[in-house]
């Protein structure tokens, strides 16, 4: 099923890096990069490929969303929304897209996370 969403700005930030911790949590460089995308006016933030099982990680520094890193991801999402609001006076980022790669590197699932404030 395809749904339609409208963003506040035509800019979309898409980054493909691997700056996660050994546990898979987003670290300082990752948080800073997405904070800058939000402060730059992007209406949609496309997060880098994020594993949901250890075997799905392409390298040891790839982001990995699991029970022990969920709070780190939540804090990063809050940072993105708050940074955009600080810069523009309102929550400018309307959503983030989480790319979940398959073990073979192909895209297994793309999940859109609506942002609310």
pLDDT tens, position by position, 24-61: 999 998 899 889 988 888 777 777 778 888 888 888 98
Confidence tier at 1 by pLDDT (50, 70, 90): very low
pLDDT, one tens digit per residue, over 63-78 is: 898 999 989 988 988 8
**Maximum distance among all Cα pairs of the chain, rounded to whole angstroms:** 42
Q: How far is CA 101 from CA 4, 21, 34, 40, 86, in A?
A: 23, 18, 20, 27, 32
> Which residue's entry shows tokens 């804090």?
75
Residue 51: DSSP 8-state:
B
Amino acid 21: pLDDT: 92
* Per-residue model confidence (pLDDT) at position 99: 63
Q: Mean pLDDT over residues 1-5, rounded?
A: 52
Average of per-residue pLDDT values in the chain: 75
Cα separation of 91 and 117, whole Å? 7
11 or 38: whose pLDDT is higher? 38
């Amino acid at each position: 099923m395809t749904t339609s969403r409208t963003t506040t700005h035509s800019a979309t930030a898409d980054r493909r890096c691997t700056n996660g911790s050994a546990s898979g949590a987003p670290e300082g460089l990752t948080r800073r990069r997405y904070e800058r995308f939000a402060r730059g006016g992007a209406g949609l933030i496309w997060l880098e490929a994020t594993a949901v099982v250890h075997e799905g990680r392409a390298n040891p520094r790839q982001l990995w969303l699991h029970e022990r890193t969920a709070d780190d991801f939540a804090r990063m999402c809050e940072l993105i929304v708050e940074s955009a609001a600080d810069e523009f006076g309102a929550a400018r980022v309307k959503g983030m897209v989480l790319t979940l790669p398959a073990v073979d590197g192909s895209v297994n699932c793309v999940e859109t996370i609506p942002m609310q404030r």
